[in-house]
Chains A and B, each alone.
Chain A
Amino acid sequence: MSIFSKAKSFKGGVHPSEFKELTEKSAFEVMPNPNMVILPLKQHIGKDAKTLVKKGDTVKAGQVVAEPDGFISAPVHSPVSGKVMKITKEKNVSGFPAEAIIIKSDEENEIEFMPSLDPETVTPEEIRERVRLAGLVGQGGAAFPTFVKLTPPKDKVVDTVILNGCECEPYLTRDDRYMIERPDEVITGLKIIMKALGVKKGSIGIENNKPEAIDVMRKAVAGMNDVTVDVVQTKYPQGAEKMLIKAVNGREVPPGKLPMDVGCVIQNIGTAIAINDAVVKGEPVLTAAMTVSGLGINEPKNVIVRVGTPLVDILEYCGGVKDTAKKVVVGGPMMGVAQFDFDAPVMKATSGLLVLTEEEINNPEETPCLRCGMCVDACPLNLVPTKLARFSQLGRLEEAEQLGITVCMECGTCAYTCPANIPLVQWIRLGKQNVIRLQRERQSA
């Protein structure tokens, strides 16, 4: 590919300052086990897991402490060996307290893994079962149980698996480092996903701001005719499923439909690594790899921590926060959740912990809408944010519904571009919830 050819992309979007230089060169460090882990029963989309242990029980690392409840749910494993202290409502990075199992580590680290499987001879059923038992959830942020995505309904024909290596959120470099440090495991993970779905075509989508990762992955796939590396433009939200499909193979997912409806399954790079670990090593999800970054932390780095580690331990491990720190966010700066309590634990899908200073956060005063239409141009899903926000504000839910408010994925591109600083995505998020409630009421009526 010549440097003059334009990288593939989608319509709209924004390009915020990247800040990736803070951590993109630092290799993963494994943080020592914490004294105590807090394991929320809900670390995924779907129903809470049901707890299997009680106060006083001793558990091994890798032991199942909560089993899935229903199809869309995931088990929880103890990431350390130790003793169950209590099961109670605890702090949570979502901001709302949630049921959690608290385990005190005994430092012995007795491990109980599943038997390893050979990726060459393993059958699709075995893969799905293993992925379900290992409690895998999507590492991209939404934490959707992975095995559900590997179990497409009979009427859907999937022909392509795309690994999402875009990492379009600023600051985050976890997937970048994964590709640079563990390229073969990424490929094995991808091959296992392709096998589970019976798909012949795999693709790895990487934004063109990660030249090293592109290089490494290109070398890793050299000679394979079923896997390609697709370089896409650096733009937010390039890592959103629908945007990535559009960029990689030009297909458009209709509103209200899933990637499966256009024959694609997207998995995060982190998920591919986790699938590789689950199948090849028999290791359930015990750790979360994440980027700790921002101008407010003393030592920005990429770390691998135990699931359930309190945020405060991680901040301490990374040299503590500076006096100028103003805001702590779990996830990326665009879609992450601001934290008020640092005792909240890391979850399976946590990909970043950012400590931001005054100069990185921006809360300017809101002024009236200029009708400039910048949000309309920027919206990757072709919505009209200015109207949706207004209808939501006025409680005119039917009109918001007609304009497709439920299609919004809350990426925040509209609010980012708005020159009048209107909290567009916040209003839309509220309106979306109200419209969904209205639809449920209508259905039950």
Chain B
Amino acid sequence: MDLGFIIAISTMGGLGFLFAGGLALADRKLRVEENPLIGKVNEALPGANCGACGKAGCYDFAVNVVEGKAKVNGCPVGGEETAQAVATIMGVDAGASEKLLPIVLCRGGNAEAVKKMADYYGPLSCSAMDLVSGGEKMCYYGCLGGGDCVEACPFNAMFMNEDGLPEVIEELCTGCGMCAQACPKDIIEMHPESHNVFVYCKNHDDPKTSKDVCKVACIGCGICARKSDGGVVMDNNLGIIQYDVIDPDKIPFDKCRTGAIQRTDSKPDQDINLN
């Protein structure tokens, strides 16, 4: 029998046992207690690591859910199903996870908004345009048309229409809200589907200025607010809708001279009187 053969086997075997023992010991002594829920939640998630929830990835989201820092229905990609699964693991009610939709609160596209007497040259990004005299349009509150929201959408659910305004494809939208975060003018707001009245304008200018800068601006006349019983409140020449008290039937939509306030569940008024 070759002695070297035995020595080799026993050396390697011995080393194997030694390290295995070391690992076993380390597992005991150095163990980091992790909440077992984290692993379970992680498995229930889609695993796309898209970051649409605002966290670094699915695992990070799972940690945040277990620590109570994120909502169980916070994964926009998984939708209802995932929310239900995560809620079961966490032992809570998934809640009425009403889907949020981004609403673009500006209708002043290339055809409606008045442009400044200058062209913009530079990076084609809304936030860069905003730094240069507040963009190409005379309105300092309106959509810049640079498409930062479209760029930010992880699900290709947005596009710029012919008028230079972003539009949402509701079938593809998961309600993650990345577009709203990307907008430097805060024109995009996330609303639950139950909201059906919107003032499609963010302009706080005085009536004369706002009329001059855009055909479809809210000029702050306040007709809607006076008839609404508190459903619309005027704030610095702009109507702000109070969703908990508004009654759409009380709003005189046809009286709005620029058509800034509109109802989404009925067909939008096509014949807007622009005078």
Contacts and interface: CB of A to CB of B under 8 A. Distances in A.
Interface residues of B: mostly helix, strand, loop or mixed?
A: loop
A433 to B, nearest CB: 7
Given A96-B134, A338-B118, A340-B133, A430 B140 contact: no
Contact of B128 (A327, A339, A427): A427
10 interchain residue pairs of minimum CB distance: A95-B133, A340-B118, A340-B116, A426-B122, A363-B121, A430-B128, A340-B117, A423-B122, A423-B123, A426-B123
Given A95-B133, A96-B133, A427 B116 contact: no
B125 interface: yes
Quick one: which of A95, A97, A427 has the most chain B CB within 10 A?
Answer: A95
B169 interface: no
A415 to B, nearest CB: 10
B127 interface: yes
A207 to B, nearest CB: 29
B245 interface: no
Nearest to B135: A95
Interface in A309-361: 327, 337-341
A94 B122 CA distance: 17
B117 A430 contact: no
A429 B117 contact: no
Interface string A421-433: 0010011011001
26 contacts: A95-B133, A96-B133, A96-B134, A96-B140, A97-B140, A337-B133, A338-B118, A338-B133, A339-B118, A340-B118, A340-B133, A341-B116, A341-B117, A363-B121, A393-B123, A423-B121, A423-B122, A423-B123, A426-B123, A427-B128, A430-B123, A430-B125, A430-B127, A430-B128, A433-B131, A434-B127
A341 B118 CA distance: 9
B132 interface: yes
A337 B117 CA distance: 14
A430 B131 contact: yes
A104 to B, nearest CB: 20
Interface in B108-167: 116-118, 121-123, 125, 127-128, 131-134, 140
A94 B117 CA distance: 15
Contact of B131 (A327, A338, A363, A429): A429
Nearest to B116: A340
Interface of A: 94-97, 327, 337-341, 363, 393, 423, 426-427, 429-430, 433-434
Contacts of A97: 140
A327 B121 CA distance: 12
Contacts, number: 41
A337 B134 CA distance: 12
A363 B123 CA distance: 12
Nearest to A97: B140
Contacts of B133: 94-96, 337-338, 340
B257 to A, nearest CB: 23
Contacts of B134: 95-96
A44 B133 CA distance: 18
A429 B130 CA distance: 12
A429 B128 CA distance: 8
A345 to B, nearest CB: 15
B217 to A, nearest CB: 16
B17 to A, nearest CB: 46
A423 to B, nearest CB: 5
Contacts of A94: 133
Nearest to B127: A430
Nearest to B128: A430
B205 to A, nearest CB: 9
Contacts of A426: 122-123, 128, 131
Given A423-B122, A426-B122, A95 B132 contact: yes
Given A337-B133, A423-B121, 12 more contacts: A338-B132, A338-B133, A339-B118, A340-B133, A341-B117, A426-B128, A426-B131, A427-B123, A429-B131, A430-B127, A430-B128, A434-B127
Contacts of A430: 123, 125, 127-128, 131
Contacts of B127: 430, 434
B234 to A, nearest CB: 18
Contacts of B122: 423, 426
A434 B133 CA distance: 17
Nearest to A94: B133
Contacts of A337: 133
A96 B116 CA distance: 12
Nearest to A339: B118
A96 B139 CA distance: 11
Interface in B60-85: none
A337 B133 CA distance: 9
Contacts of A427: 123, 128
B57 to A, nearest CB: 17
Quick one: which of A327, A340, A363 has the most chain B CB within 10 A?
Answer: A340
A95 B118 CA distance: 11
Contacts of B117: 340-341
Contacts of B140: 96-97
B221 to A, nearest CB: 20
A310 to B, nearest CB: 15
A430 B133 CA distance: 13
Contacts of A363: 121
A156 to B, nearest CB: 33
Quick one: which of A94, A327, A430 has the most chain B CB within 10 A?
Answer: A430
Interface in B21-41: none
A362 to B, nearest CB: 10
Contacts of A423: 121-123
Contacts of B121: 363, 423
Contacts of B123: 393, 423, 426-427, 430
B125 to A, nearest CB: 7
Nearest to B119: A363
Interface string B197-241: 000000000000000000000000000000000000000000000
Contacts of A327: 118
A62 to B, nearest CB: 32
A249 to B, nearest CB: 35
A423 B134 CA distance: 18
A409 to B, nearest CB: 16
A339 B118 CA distance: 8
B19 to A, nearest CB: 38
A423 B116 CA distance: 21
Contacts of A433: 131
